[in-house]
Amino acid sequence: MMKRDLRFSRRNLLRTLGAGAALLPLLESDPADAQCLAGGIKRLYIFAWPDGMLSSTNSWSATGNDPSSWKLAPFQASLQPYQSDLLLLNGVDYKFLRDGPASERTGHACLPGMLTGALYKSAGSSTAGDVAGGPSVDQFIGSKLKAGGYGGLVSLNQGAFVESTARLSWAAAGQAVIPDFDPYHVFNTYIKGKITAPASSGTPATPPATTPTVDYVKASQKSILDAVMADLNRFSNVVGTADKANIDRHLSYVRDIEAGLATMTGTGTGSTGTSAATTGSGAACGVPAAATATPVAFKNTDNIPVIAKLHMDLAIAAFAADLTRVAVMQIGDQGAAHLILSWAPLNFKSGGPNPGDANTGDVNGLHAIAHRNVADKVACDTWFQSQIAYVIGQMKSIADPSGKSMLDSSVVVGMNNMRTGTHETTGVPVVMAGSCGGYFKTGRSLALPAGTPNNGLLIALCNAMGTPTQTFGDAMYGGELSVLKG
């Protein structure tokens, strides 16, 4: 009953994406079959998961400075079609963890800091309670873009099977960003009504010719939020200092919602509007069909492939419509002890009742598999790589009017909180793809010197995205990892 087929043909790999055959044509099609993007917009997509990218029995891809000079490791075969877009790093050092307070010194505890590069503000009583000491790179970049006049979201933070409350993204030291696990909620909140529905032709949909009308429902929403803000102001004046800071944050979030109303120029809730954010049409840039189909239970582990794919599709749709320029997707929490990769071809399940003993437990949970750190782990590693490959493939399949793909002007970053399943916080590999408008030199697989802090990578992401900084996180970890630029 433990036996499972761990051989991965390419087709099998594609099936593991959760997309099955439906994905095949996309991956194999001409990338520029849909032109719906405004050109030149840079985007950052971060994909994170726990328990190591590697096991004791698989090696990272070979090193090389030119696609012809290196080969992808078998477990990264799903990335093969995009080798020239890749920038593989082996690997970064999560020094922030070992140098500051933390609940523990294992890679599990790296989750709240891998995107901040800052010593923790305080250690929790468990890995769920560690408090980051600064903003994460997604929030930093998104906030800077907004400060520079961009009108979309700071970032779109999504997750699947994030059981614990350890957080990956932070608005500021101590202020966690809570990922949205419900893709239908993501759609209804951030996308619905703000993006042109899939059109039958490749030409942008013409807005319906209507006489301008006042949307009274929306106007009343604004009035309601005004009243709420007045209440929050009053409330913040009768509480203590720490509480006041919290209520003031609450107030700023309400203000954000109100600002979002103002930028919606549609003619009513849920209508296909004439929002300036809508830049095109075509299936690849429209609403993912699954977003409006009958919902599947998004908290059910068995549905992770479907849910993760929908989350990714929504993020890419939001990218295409320029509703966000930064997105973060997280599968699993810092340990994922209860995450069972139950779908084909992994098919991990409980071993069932053990004769003479009722012991089972999650012997096939990701955490336990990671600790065994052998073949089963390689199968999991392979699946996670295929998720990154899916995002890369989708972004590559969408082109702007100049013929450049979304991927060309963007960067995808796959990160983990440790190296292999046994907790190493050094030499942690990173998958990058996309040159971010020529900033990164792709097609390479780099061996980084031991002790290269992850901060240099985070700085490079900020600089690539046009939100420059000299340092990120704790300044003692130095400057940009300039080798990425080539």
Partner 1 sequence: MSGTRALENAMKVQKLERSWQLVATLLSLAAVSACTGTVSDVGGGPAATNSAGGVSGLAGTSGSISNGGSSVGGVGAAGAIGVVGSAAGGGTSTTSGGSNASSGGVAAIPDVSGTPVPESAGTLVMRRLTYREYDHMVARLLGDTTMPASGPNGWSADAVADTGFVSPNSVASYHVTVYNQSANALVDTALKAWAAGQKTGLFVIPCTNPTAAQETACATSFITTFGKQAYRRPVAPAEQADLLSLFSTVRSTDQLSFTDAIGAIAKAMLQSPNFLYHWEIGPTKPALGADGLAPLTSWQVASRLATSLWESMPDDTLLAAAEKNELATPAQITAQAQRMLADPQASQSLYSFHLQWLFNMGFHVTDLGAIAAKPNSLLTAAAAAGLQNEFTQFIASVYAPPGDGTLNTLYTAPYAFVNQDLAAIYGVMGPASGFSKVNLDPTERAGIFTQVAFLAGIEDSVADNPIYRGLAIYTKALCGVMAPPPPNVPSVVFKDMGTTRQAYDTHGSSACATSCHSVFDPPGFAFENYDGVGKYRTTDAGQPVDATGTFTGPVLAPGSGGTVFKFNNAIELSKQLAASPEAQACVDRQWARYMLGRMETTADQGSLQTAFKKGAETPGFSLRDMLVTLLSSKAFLYRQPSAGEPI
| Smallest gap from residue 233 Cβ to partner 1 (A) | 10
Q: Is 219 helix (H, G, I), strand (E, B) or coil?
A: helix
Which two three-digit tokens encode residue 461?
């992401």
Residue 436 CA to its chain's centroid (Å)? 16
Among positions 58, 76, 127, 324, the unique one binding partner 1 when judged by CB under 8 A: 127
φ/ψ of residue 160, rounded to 5: -140, 135
**CA–CA–CA angle 99, 102, 106 (5° rounding):** 85
127 and 367 Cβ atoms separated by less than 8 Å: no
- In the complex with partner 1, the residue whose CB is nearer, 70 or 140, is 140
Cβ 312 to partner 1 shortest distance, Å: 18
274 binds partner 1 (CB under 8 A): no
> Residues 6 or more apart from 432 whose CB is under 8 A from it?
86, 87, 88, 89, 411, 412, 413, 414, 440, 442, 484
- Name the minimum Å distance from CB 238 to partner 1: 6
> Nearer to partner 1 by C-beta: 70 or 343?
343
- Strand intervals (E) in 117-242: 156-160, 170-172, 175-176
Q: Which residue lies nearer to partner 1 by CB, 57 or 471?
A: 57
Q: Which range binds partner 1 by CB under 8 A, 48-56, 63-71, 243-251, 285-293? A: 243-251
CB environment 137-173: b (16+ within 10 A), e (fewer): bbbbbbbbbbeeebebbbbbbbbbbbbbebbbbbbbb
* 334 contacts 129 by C-beta, under 8 angstroms: no
**Interface residue with partner 1, options 74, 80, 234, 344 (CB under 8 A):** 234
Which of 125, 210, 211, 294 is in the footprint of partner 1 by CB under 8 A? 125
Footprint of partner 1 on 157-186 (CB under 8 A): 159, 162-166, 171, 174-182, 185
And the tokens for 306? 């479907």
Choice between 71 and 146, CB closer to partner 1:
146
Amino acid present at 347: N
Estimate to the nearest angstrom the gap between the alpha carbon of 61 and the chain centroid: 22
Please list, in sequence order, all residues whose beta carbon lies within 8 angstroms of the beta carbon of residue 298, skipping any fewer than 6 positions away: 160, 181, 182, 183, 184, 307
Among 5, 28, 66, 226, the residue binding partner 1 under the rule CB under 8 A is 226
The 331-370 site mask, x for binding partner 1 (CB under 8 A), equals: --x-x-xx-x-x------xxx-xxxxxxxxxxx-x-xx--
| Segment contacting partner 1 by CB under 8 A, of 6-14, 76-84, 119-127, 144-152 | 119-127
Residues 6-25 that bind partner 1 (CB under 8 A): none
The correct pick among 22, 227, 344, 476 for binding partner 1 (CB under 8 A) is 227
The most distant pair of C-alpha atoms in the chain lies apart, rounded to whole Å, by: 75
Of 142-150, 228-236, 283-291, 432-440, the segment contacting partner 1 by CB under 8 A is 228-236
Assess 375 for contact with partner 1 (CB under 8 A): no
Among 64, 67, 81, 101, binds partner 1 (CB under 8 A): 101
Say if residues 425 and 454 touch (Cβ distance below 8 Å): no
Site size for partner 1, by CB under 8 A?
A: 98
60 secondary structure, DSSP code: P
**Which residues, 131 to 150, sit near partner 1 by CB under 8 A?**
131
Candidates 98, 144, 249, 441; binder of partner 1 (CB under 8 A) is 249
129 binds partner 1 (CB under 8 A): yes
